[in-house]
A and B are shown apart, each in its own frame.
Chain A
Amino acid sequence: LTDRDELEALSPQRVQRVLQLAGLDEGPEEFAILERDLPRIIAAWRVLADAAGGVSDREPPENGCESTLAPDLAEPSLDPEIWTKNLPSQDPRGPWVPPNRGRG
């Protein structure tokens, strides 16, 4: 992440979007957290960039699946593809079957 990204992460539009997704009110405690704490918390995560060098592409996640992400906060997109691309019906591995079911 660059400094610009970090600042952009907390622009007024993004603050409002984060609060909306979190289901929280625009109260003084929430703003204090967003303005004072969140930049420091996110900045601390930067150490992952160096540590992850050469690690992230090594192997796929252990369980072979990716999480479904919420839309990019910078662009509150309504593109339906974001919500449908990970649907089980489109998974080439076929429908998910719960463990311990259908075994006699």
Chain B
Amino acid sequence: VRELTAMGVAELCRRRDAGEFGSEEILAAHRFRIETVDAELHAVAHHFREEGPAEGPLRGIPYLTKANIAVRGRPHDCGSRILAGYVAPFDATVTARLHQSGCSLVGSTNMDEFGMGSSTEHSCQGPTHNPADRSRTPGGSSGGSAAAVAAGMVPFALGTDTGGSVRQPAAHCGVYGLRPTWGRVSRYGLTTFASSMDQVGILARAAEDLPLIFSVIAGVDPRDATTRAPELTSRIARRFTAPRLAVDPSTLEIVDDEVGGAFEAFVRDLESAGVRIDSVSLPSCRVALECYLVLSSAEAASNLARFDGTLFGDRVTPAQSYEEMVRMSRSQGFGAEVKRRILSGVFASSAGEGAIHAERARALRRQIRLEHVEVLRECDALLLPTTPTAAPRLGEYEDDPCGAYEGDRLTTPASLAGLPAVAMPISRGPRGLPLSAQLVGRPDQDEALLDLAIALARMRSEEEPH
């Protein structure tokens, strides 16, 4: 069982096809692993026990999906009390495509309510624990997906990334995390948080599994008008013999010594392996977090208006009037972090002072994208740490929401720019906590970015002592 649950998707398929084991054994081994370890981690929100192996090239490969991605006939609570008991009436395009390829969905994962949070503590289901250290958070908001992959419950899982919700938990749990270019993967069936940045992403233990799963879920979807197919030339795989990466030294000013030391060592190793590192400057990225908070909160306040106790989920009764029912349902249904975002979003989307902030944020967002595109004209990718620190302790930011937001400072620039980004594990710190670097690629060149991530991962593994 341990051997099967330590493999990635590609290796499982290769050895299954070689007759070493069958798809039923793959599925059974991972179900057993979930039963054994999830009681301590609480990564899985809802178990789908009756799902058997389907037909297709990925038959028998189990996976988990974040609880804000719809699966017909399954609970769809998005980590929120307001959606407790709500069952999705249709399949998201991504889960439908994975089913068609043969994958077996074994459950949905715990998450920060509606994707708002960086620790998976803001969930009606309670917190998820980090497999590397149970006293720490797995990051968020896709913390359940990251913890499950890191603990060997599944070889890959789906998450969603608005401001870093795939990359940041991937970093804290020591796995790979892909945020695709906005528009490359359908969001039909994803419950929106901030529509201009939301994207479905992938968490996996093996770098080579990211392009495999991406090829299944990416592509035009008539049900999502924002999806598009890039030019064919941008999808041709590239061989990176001498990659050229850009590093903005100012990003190291906001990380702690543990992350900074690991990142600098990683850069030195890459240089010795023949990677060219250019020093660049992206000045507007210093305020990317604040831009993100203004814009995403404004979008969230609008998107979450639909949860009013009438159509979806829980309704508080009795009430004296319709308005009172709406207010009570929302106040009792939403958690504190969601209320924080809605309230700040209402402020940001109102004329007057709020509009001034929003206007500045919109202008800066455009500038952030221009600065990225300019740097990526010359370099294959931008390289930066994924998070300012290793995984925080559970409850560390309970009374400090602004401190918690800082965890997204290095992931929000790519989100605002709509660019593809991959978080990759680079080492473990002195406390044994995973540390990670992030590659940000050219728009629509997700395949090339993943080739680069695989190349760097191979360079890294060749240097590690055996």
Chain B positions within 8 Å of A40 at CB level? 401-402
Q: A61-B366, A69-B355 are in contact. Are A99 and B225 (CB under 8 A)?
A: yes
Chain B positions within 8 Å of A87 at CB level? none
Chain B positions within 8 Å of A22 at CB level? 301, 330, 339, 342-343, 346
Chain A positions within 8 Å of B344 at CB level? 38, 41-42
- Interface size for chain A: under 10, 10 to 19, 20 to 34, or 35 or more residues? 35 or more
Let me know if A70 and B349 touch, CB within 8 A: yes
Let me know if A73 and B354 touch, CB within 8 A: yes
State the CA gap A49–B293 with chains docked (Å): 15
Question: Among the interface residues B305, B328, B363, B367, which one has the most CB atoms of the partner chain A within 10 A?
Answer: B363
Let me know if B360 and A33 touch, CB within 8 A: no
State the CA gap A37–B397 with chains docked (Å): 13
Main secondary structure of the interface of B (DSSP, over half): helix
Per-residue B-contact encoding for A61-75, CB less than 8 Å = 1, 0 else: 110000101111110
Per-residue B-contact encoding for A1-38, CB less than 8 Å = 1, 0 else: 10001100100000000110111110101100110011
Q: Does any Cβ of B come within 8 Å of A90's Cβ? A: no
Shortest beta-carbon distance from B407 to chain A in Å: 14
Shortest beta-carbon distance from B203 to chain A in Å: 29
Q: A45-B294, A48-B364, A51-B284 are in contact. Are A29 and B336 (CB under 8 A)?
A: yes
Chain B positions within 8 Å of A74 at CB level? 352
- Contacts of A84-104 to chain B: CB distance below 8 A: 98-100
Let me know if B363 and A33 touch, CB within 8 A: no
Shortest beta-carbon distance from B305 to chain A in Å: 7
Residues of B at under 8 Å CB distance from A?
A: 225, 283-284, 286-287, 290-291, 293-294, 301, 305, 308, 326-328, 330-332, 334, 336, 339-340, 342-344, 346-364, 366-367, 401-402
Residues of A at under 8 Å CB distance from B?
A: 1, 5-6, 9, 18-19, 21-25, 27, 29-30, 33-34, 37-38, 40-42, 44-45, 47-49, 51-52, 55-56, 58-59, 61-62, 67, 69-74, 82, 98-100
15 pairs of residues in contact across A and B, judged by CB atoms under 8 Å: A5-B353, A18-B343, A19-B343, A22-B346, A23-B308, A23-B326, A24-B327, A24-B343, A25-B330, A33-B343, A37-B402, A44-B290, A52-B364, A56-B359, A69-B350
